[in-house]
Amino acid sequence: MTAARHESEWAISVDSHTARLADIRRFVEQVATEVALEEERVFDLKIAVSEACANACQHAGCESLPLEVSACLQSRRLTFVVTDNGLFHPPSASRDHYGNRGLGLPLMVTLMDEVSFSRLPSGGTKVTLSVLLDAPPEFFD
């Protein structure tokens, strides 16, 4: 990435299957490293984006549908967007079925500077995860 850039975009599309989460984590690391994000924030992003994708895989209900992950650098914010096209299937009301699960949303909110969830008009869900960047001003000029 050149220092004169104000906006950059990246994207990856994978099958909605948890076996593909490693590919998504590599994608997140590649993007975050390219924008010179600190190692700790790279780790935070990998966890948060991976959790959003795991939720999409689990709740979208269809492994044949694509899971889209995009990233955008604008000004001093790096934003990842996770989009699936499946129909949301809520988890069981009983906590007995969760085990160690059910911590993804709290992790996303804790690790990111901003998180939003949207239901898409055509079906599916969009999760937006942003981190604010502490790069020197000349990086964005």
- pLDDT tens digit sequence for 29-64: 999 999 999 999 999 999 999 999 988 887 665 566
Q: Which of 20, 48, 126, 27 is nearest to 83 (CA)?
A: 126
Q: Which long-range contacts (CB under 8 A, 24 or more apart) does 135-141 make?
A: 135/35, 135/36, 135/76, 138/3, 139/3, 139/36, 140/6, 140/75, 140/76, 141/3, 141/4
Structural domain span for residue 69: 7-90+101-140
The first and second tokens of residue 127, run together, are: 């999760």
Flag whether 1 is in a domain: no
CB 73 within 8 A of CB 8: yes
Flag whether 41 is in a domain: yes
Report the pLDDT value the prediction gives residue 4, as an integer from 0 to 100.
33
d(CA 67, CA 17) in angstroms, rounded, equals: 9
Residue 44 belongs to a domain with what CATH number? 3.30.565.10
d(CA 123, CA 85) in angstroms, rounded, equals: 6
- pLDDT tens digit sequence for 97-119: 555 556 778 889 999 999 998 88
- pLDDT tens digit sequence for 60-99: 655 667 889 999 998 889 999 999 887 665 555 555 555 5
Q: Count the Cβ atoms, other than its own, within 10 Å of residue 58.
A: 14
Report the pLDDT value the prediction gives residue 97, as an integer from 0 to 100.
55
Flag whether 57 is in a domain: yes
Flag whether 67 is in a domain: yes
* Domain count across the chain: 1
By DSSP bridging, strand 7-15 and strand 77-84 are unpaired
β-sheet bridge partners, residue 82: 69, 127
Residue percentage of the chain with pLDDT more than 90: 45
- Going by pLDDT thresholds of 50, 70 and 90, the confidence category of residue 139 is very low
- Going by pLDDT thresholds of 50, 70 and 90, the confidence category of residue 6 is very low
d(CA 93, CA 137) in angstroms, rounded, equals: 48
Report the pLDDT value the prediction gives residue 105, as an integer from 0 to 100.
84
